[in-house]
Structures are given as C-alpha cells and as structure tokens.
Amino acid sequence: MREMRVLSPTAILGYGFPLSSFKSGMELDPHLIVVDAGSTDPGPYYLGAGVSFTHRNAVKRDLTLLLEGAISQRIPLIIGTAGGCGGAPHLQWNLEIIREIATEKGLNFNMALIPAEIDKNLVRDAFRQGQISPLKGVPELTEDDISQATRIVGQMGIEPIMVAIEGGAQVILAGRAYDPAVFAAFPIMGGYDRGLAFHMGKILECASIAAIPGSGSDCAIGYLRDDHFIIEPLNPNRRCTVTSVSAHTLYEKSNPYILPGPGGHLDLRETRFTQIGKGSVKVEGSRFRPSEEYTIKLEGAKKVGYRTISVSGVRDPIMIPQLDSILNEVQDRVRDNFSELGEGSYLNFRLYGKNGVMGPLEPEKDITPYEVGIIIDVVAGTQDMANTICSFARSTLLHFGYAGRLATAGNLAFPFSPSDINMGEVYNFCIYHLMKVKDGKTLFPVEFLEIGG
C-alpha cells in the first residue's frame, strides 16, 4: 500500500519543538515538512499593525532546523500564514528571516512566495456586485469597513500551493492560508483522497495538541494512505487516542460534522477513529464535498484608537460585594469629567476572580471572592486622551468612598510602578466575510525565487 508521510513540527512556527522529536520525525523519511505560522486567535492587532505575534528569534530558531532538514533530505518545506497573519508585511518579514538563514548556513534552494493580501478596490467591486456575505454572527459588510481596513487578507486554498509545487519550489512561503490546505495540497497532487488529506491536515496543523498530554510545541507525523490515515506523536511521552484525535477534529468548529473551507467542505458524518497500538490513531471515512461556488474567507482589521491599562487588586471584604455599584459610579464620574469618551472610545473594568474571563456570560453570579484583580481598560482617540482617562479612573477608584469603608489610605493594591501602561494602537476586525471568486488561483499569484548561491 502506498503511503505519504507528512511531518508537522509545531502548532505555529516560533512555538518551538524538542530537537529529539524533530530528529525522530526526520528519521522516518517524511515526504514533506509542513508548518502553520499563524492564526487569528491573538486578535486583530497583529493583522492591522502588520507585525508578528511570534518573536523573530524563536521563528528563526525553528526555521533554521526546518530548512536544514528539508534541504538535506531534498523534500519540500511548506509554510502557511507567514508572519502570523499572512499580510504583505508578514510575508516579507518571514522572507527576510529565510534569506538570513540561507546566507548563514550556505543553503541554496528554489522558493515560491504566495501573497494573500487583497486589494481594497477588488473587494469593493465584489461588495458592490453582491459577492460578499458575512459569516455567522458577523454584521453585514459596509463600504466604510473596506475603506477603513488597514489591510485585508484572503484565506487561500490548495490551488496556489499546487502551482508553487508544480513550478519546482522546494520551499513555499504562503500568506494567509486555510490551515489544512498547506498540509493537503501536496498529497492531493499525488492522487490521494481529498477528504482524508484535508482531515489529516486539520489535525496536523496543531502538531501534538491532538495527543495526550497535548502540546503545541512538539512534533507529530501523519501517514496518509489510499483509504485512511494515521496520526502519531513523535515524543515517546505522548500518545494519540481516539478521544484526543476525535476531540481535536472538533477544534474551532461550530458544526462537528461539516467543516467548511475554500472550495467546499469536509464531511465527517461517516468518519471512523480506531486505536492503533498505544499511541497512534487510524482515521477513515472522511469525505470532501466541493461547493457549487468557490468562496474564500476575507479578514480585515481597522484602527479604532489607542489603549492604556492599569492593573490593580482589591482584597477588602467590605468593598468587593459592592464592586459593581462602585464601578458604575466611577464610570459616571469619568463621563461627567470627560465628554471625549464618546463613540469609538470606552472605559471598561475587567474583574479577574469575579467574571474577568466570561464577563456578562459568567454563570456563577452569586460567588463573593476574597480578592479581585482589576484591569482598568481605556480606549480613546489619542494615546494622550487614553492616558488621561485611565489616570482619572484609576485615581477615582483608588480613593472612592463606599459604605462601610474603614481604611482611607487607598482601595487598590498596585503590583507595578508606573501603574498605568500605554498599550498603543488598538485594532478591531472589520471584515470577517466570505467572498465568491472565479477560482482558487486568481487572487494568489505565485512568485518564484532563487535563494542562496
């Protein structure tokens, strides 16, 4: 039975991996190495600001090992969602690191670059033609959203990656990409089943998170065959189980059976998971269903202001039960003093120990903690105004008089000095929509480069 072996070293480029696990994977003679480099999980700032959420030194460490391994064994290395968000600055940032490594290590290889940033005029034209629709829970798109976006990226599927492979690229650096697509493109070109290739990619994108104990900083390998695939961690201290692999299949999905992506969806209604030995899982029965119209997901972020925060704690058993009413009065005093805190700006209090994680969705509303961490969070039109409002809110809360108060030295304990922290620019997602396109290639032109001597 023929087999394609795909090595996934880490959940996100820059998260790291044990060298011993990587060596074990390379000893299995993989046919390719694939790594996802990004996500929207860290929020819109990194897309809007054009910076990576992983540190350059960590990315360079990972890439050095991956490049040396791929070049020495003459296998492809495919990187998806370069720089964390896959926009033009993220792609160039990742490319600079690759060039630097190639120079330092004396590496020579053919490379493909696949940009994913989409021109606003193209998006605007598609919007006017009714070709863009919101994802569930997302408001309808407006022309203002398009105009205000700092940048817009499209989530590519397998087609541009296939073009890069056909063009002879050994290293492929892709902008924003559908995570499983970077794992599935090469196997699908080899004639393997699309459903199995995409499902294996869905699991491998997070490397050993699908193992027990799970880790996004450790290696895993997939064995793709004609009628099934097998997932296996490469650290002897981890194991994959039917529960861990099937649970990870549901990761970040609202429907457990239908997983949409560019050009179609993965249908898992007939999928079966079987334990193989103590640490591997066999998966079969997954199907890919092409859609009548090809759509890609658009992601765009716009700048909405500047943030300042202040971190403090409260341990007064008299104050804590009154916190909600106290904070409401502090809000009123801030609004009374600063009319500038209007539309697009806000003052928010995050109460860790009470409802800091869930906010208004917190189900345990009657618990009174013995201490609460308070983050004063201010967003305003300028950094100076954010600083001013945060300072005023902090001083007002610090000396606020409440019923039963005994001590007058201050209500808050501050772990840091200075107490107020400038967070800089704030971005929100303004585009999270599907756009109909002619095909999966047109928006993602492939550029071929020669790296090294």
In this model, does residue 43 exceed pLDDT 80?
yes
CA–CA distance, 453 with 448 (Å, rounded to integer): 15
Apex CA 410: angle with CA 404 and CA 365, to 5°? Answer: 60
349-367 pLDDT, tens digit each? 999 999 999 988 899 888 8
When the pLDDT of each residue in the chain is averaged and rounded to a whole number, the result is 95
Q: Where are the domains of the chain?
A: 4-299+431-451, 316-412
For residue 344, the model assigns a pLDDT of 67
For residue 255, the model assigns a pLDDT of 84
CA distances from 429 to 39, 49, 80, 406, 443 (A): 13, 12, 21, 45, 21
CA–CA distance, 427 with 431 (Å, rounded to integer): 12
Task: Give the end-to-end CA distance of the chain in Å, rounded to a whole number.
Answer: 40
387-397 pLDDT, tens digit each? 999 999 999 99
Name which of 329, 423, 331 is nearest 380 in CA terms: 423
Q: How confident is the model at residue 17 (pLDDT cuts 50, 70, 90)?
A: very high
Q: Which residue type sits at 392?
A: F
46-59 pLDDT, tens digit each? 999 999 999 999 99
125-164 pLDDT, tens digit each? 999 999 999 998 899 999 999 999 999 999 999 999 999 9
